[in-house]
Chains A and B, each alone.
Chain A
């Protein structure tokens, strides 16, 4: 009799499984939609919205299944970023996750995704620790050791800097990391540097800058985020600083120019994307579609979020399954994915693609492309 029950259960289970047809693919997104770096999350989400419009379905088992992206706001807060991922996996039952933008949030969110074995693709978290020793975390961008070296080289060779003041946000893993990679390379060249410290959300930097300017730097390096960068540039110029400003990808938001105005003119920064940079065959169609949709210039955060979305959908189509672990394996096997910000190939056992970088500058209130640096 017991055998009969086991048999019955198996039959029922089989019936239930085959009856549950795939009607929808649910992908999670956790971004910095509000808070001091809301620009990053909003730009990323605009990129995903465009990607969803251009590719609303994913082909599984010969059928076009609609894709649903569940967006949650992590407020740019580490604890919230972890909560968001927890909720996306436990409550929303998503099969993969996009975001967050910043390294600190991605580190906190990644710990949960790794533990719950759901793949997470961050568009722009560049700190190496984000993917280190983690199987389920991937990124669509380059990493900071490369960016830091590039910036140091640019400062030394192009700007001819000898004495650099570095403004370090002690609360952001990205900032501390990027500052360190810059210092290592810049010291190898024989350049001098010193650091000043602040905390995310600070608005007054006059004390740090007064101290920094008394040591006569020729360049101020700002490895932080755009709103602080804009305020630091304003206050530094007001205190009489005449040298160069240099920044990383954290500067890349329209708010930099809106808030900084004439004070950020001539700022140089490295980032992932510029609409005039020919990074891959996919770049041009994306720029055209973006301008048509939003009537403004596409940005790096949106471009890489666009890539992250398509990368996950490609992986789902290759594996033909909604099992998060199978999707993870398919993402890890990504090879020559033609993203709008350059091609992505994940090396064996790593979530870090090797990608080109662009150097931009602010001129006449616009972001202008200077050079594309290919790996």
Chain B
């Protein structure tokens, strides 16, 4: 493999891993607070794309308004799901909440089929959804880097900084950390726990919407099952990085992106089974270090 070829693979890997990282944060934050794996997160991601799509196509919003609208709409969708599906089960056994999450996932997928149709919608800039300049490529020494990759990595870093600031420097962040330890006691301290949980869902879902829009720009289509595989991959990324840890989700996302691309790059004949490698990585991490790479003490998890 030539040097340019290797760097091309690395660029491909970073732009894929960045999106995994954005989705993984949603999993990790919800898990950190509620010890709940929100399997509907991949479908929330899909809805983020649909909201952006319809905001432009149906409501004729300019693309940047549509994208901001989609982020907020998806954030509220996340909080809404939490309100009607998870909050009533707050004191139920954890397995009940997990099964509910799977049920919500199926509901969202099938509702999307009914509401938006089973056929794929195009998220192509030629249909006027967003400017074509997002798809420009920058050529550095034979390595072609999409502008979108810079945007993705920029957003990932910004999201990381913002979240760390929220969790460690703000009042609501302190409440989040407290809730992750002990909900009843936190309530006794006068914290509105439900509101904090809603806020967490909104943050995670908003980031999923950003990830979804970036994903749809890169792979310009959306259909009701778009988020299924990226959602699973991001879940694996969250576990690999250490579920509950925000930095871990980032690291896990990039590790998963890089290993997926590099497996294909070095063993092209196995490319058809690359999803299997993602699951193999998950199994390996669960066997060797179940807390994940950056898995920290439970008390630190948010």
Q: Which residues of A contact B (CB under 8 A)?
A: 33-36, 38-39, 41-42, 73, 168-171, 196-199, 201-204, 206-208, 210-211, 214, 227, 230-231, 234, 238-240, 255, 258-262
CB interface residues, B 99-150, toward A, < 8 Å: 113, 117-127, 135, 137, 144, 146
Q: Is the CB of A34 within 8 A of B146?
A: no
| B1 contacts chain A at the CB level, 8 A cutoff | yes
Query: Given A38-B120, A255-B221, do A238 and B144 touch, yes or no (CB 8 Å)?
Result: yes
Interface residues in B15-36 (C-beta closer than 8 Å to A)? 16
B225–A36 contact, CB under 8 A? yes
- Within the complex, which residue of A207, A238, A258 is in contact with B265, where a contact is CB–CB below 8 Å? A207
- Which residues of the other chain, A, contact B68 by a CB distance below 8 angstroms? none
- For A39, the closest partner residue in chain B by CB is B119
Chain A hits for B1, CB < 8 A: 214
A208 near B268 with CB under 8 A, answer: yes
With a cutoff of 8 Å between Cβ atoms, the chain B residues found around residue A262 in the complex are: 126
Which residue in B12, B119, B215 is a CB contact (below 8 Å) of A38? B119
Q: Tell me whether B91 is interfacial, beta carbon within 8 Å.
A: no
Q: Are A259 and B221 in contact (CB under 8 A)?
A: yes
Among B121, B125, B265, max chain A CB count under 10 A is at B265
Most chain A CB neighbours (cut-off 10 Å) among B2, B124, B144, B261:
B124
B137 CB contacts on chain A under 8 angstroms: 238
Q: How far is the CA of A147 from the CA of B46 in the complex (A)?
A: 36
- State how many residues of chain B have any CB contact under 8 Å with chain A: 47
- Chain B residues with Cβ under 8 A from A239's Cβ? 8, 144
A208–B118 alpha-carbon span in the complex (Å): 28
Q: Of B8, B119, B120, B271, which is within 8 A of A197 by CB?
A: B271
Instruction: For the complex formed, measure the closest distance between the CB of B10 and the CB atoms of chain A, giving whole angstroms.
Output: 10
Which listed residue (A39, A196, A201, A227) contacts B271, Cβ 8 A? A196
CB distance from A120 to the nearest CB of B (A): 22
Residues of A within 8 A of B275 (CB): 199, 202
Give residues in B with beta carbon < 8 Å to A: 1-2, 5, 8-9, 12-13, 16, 113, 117-127, 135, 137, 144, 146, 215, 218-221, 223-225, 229-230, 260-262, 264-265, 268-275
CB distance from A210 to the nearest CB of B (A): 5
Name the contact of A169 in the complex, choosing from B118, B219, B221, B272 (C-beta under 8 A). B272
Least distance between B105 CB and chain A CB atoms (Å):
15
- Given A204-B219, A214-B5: A39 and B120 interface contact (C-beta under 8 Å): yes
Structural contact, A204 and B16, CB atoms closer than 8 A: yes
Q: How far, in angstroms, from A45 to B110 measured CA to CA in the complex?
A: 19
Given known pairs A203-B219, A262-B126, the reply for A34 and B144 (CB within 8 Å) is no
* Contact residues in A for B224 (Cβ distance below 8 Å): 34
Question: CB-nearest residue of chain A relative to B110?
Answer: A34
* A-B contacts besides A35-B225, A255-B122, 7 pairs, CB < 8 Å: A36-B223, A38-B119, A42-B118, A198-B272, A202-B274, A214-B2, A255-B120
29 A/B residue pairs, CB under 8 Å, sorted by A = A34-B224, A35-B223, A36-B120, A36-B223, A39-B120, A41-B118, A171-B272, A197-B270, A197-B271, A197-B272, A198-B271, A204-B260, A206-B9, A207-B260, A210-B5, A211-B264, A214-B5, A231-B219, A231-B221, A238-B144, A239-B144, A240-B144, A255-B221, A258-B120, A258-B127, A259-B122, A259-B123, A261-B126, A261-B127
**CB–CB B221/A210 < 8 A:** no
Nearest-neighbour CB distance to chain A for B98, whole angstroms, equals 24
Q: Which B residue sits closest to A239, measured CB to CB?
A: B144
Bound together, the chains give a CA A198 to CA B119 distance in angstroms of 22
Query: What chain A residues lie within 8 Å of B120 (beta carbons)?
Result: 36, 38-39, 227, 255, 258-259
Q: Which residue of B lies closest to A167 (CB)?
A: B271
User: Which of B137, B144, B215, B272: most chain A CB closer than 10 A?
Assistant: B272
Known: A34-B113, A261-B126. A207 touches B271 (CB 8 A): yes
B220 → chain A closest CB, angstroms: 6
- CA–CA, A223 and B105, complex, Å: 32
Complex contact A199–B274 (CB within 8 A): yes
The distance from the CB of A13 to the nearest CB of chain B, in whole angstroms, is 45
A240 CA / B126 CA spacing, docked (Å): 20
CA distance A262 to B125 in the complex (A): 10
Which residues of the other chain, A, contact B220 by a CB distance below 8 angstroms?
Answer: 230-231, 234, 259, 261
Which one of A39, A41, A170, A210 contacts B8 once the chains associate, using CB atoms below 8 Å?
Answer: A210
With both chains docked as a complex, state the minimum distance between the C-beta of A36 and any C-beta of chain B, in angstroms: 7
Given contacts A36-B223, A168-B272, contact A206 B12 (CB under 8 A): yes
Question: Is A230 within 8 A of B221, CB to CB?
Answer: yes
Residue numbers in B under 8 Å from A207 (CB-CB) = 9, 12-13, 260-262, 264-265, 271
Once the chains are docked, how many angstroms separate the CA of A214 from the CA of B261? 15
Residues of chain B within 8 A (CB-CB) of A238 are 135, 137, 144, 146
Contact B12 A259 (CB under 8 A): no
Contact B265 A210 (CB under 8 A): yes
Contacts of B2 in A (CB 8 A): 214
Contact yes or no, B268 A196, CB < 8 A: yes
* A42 to B, closest residue via Cβ: B119
Complex contacts, B144 vs chain A, CB 8 Å? 238-240
Selected contact of B9 from candidates A41, A42, A210, A261, CB within 8 Å: A210
Known contacts A38-B223, A231-B221; decide if A199 and B272 are in contact (CB<8 Å). Answer: yes
Least CB separation from A35: chain B residue: B225
CB distance from B151 to the nearest CB of A (A): 15
Measured between alpha carbons, how far is A201 from B126 in the docked complex, in Å? 23
Contact check, A34 vs B118: say whether CB atoms are below 8 A apart: yes
CA distance A196 to B123 in the complex (A): 26
A197 pairs with B221, CB closer than 8 A: no
Q: Indicate if the CB atoms of A210 and B12 lie closer than 8 Å.
A: yes
- What residues on A are CB-neighbors of B219 within 8 Å? 203-204, 231
Closest CB in chain B relative to A350 CB, distance in Å: 32
Chain A nearest CB from B266 CB (Å) reads: 9
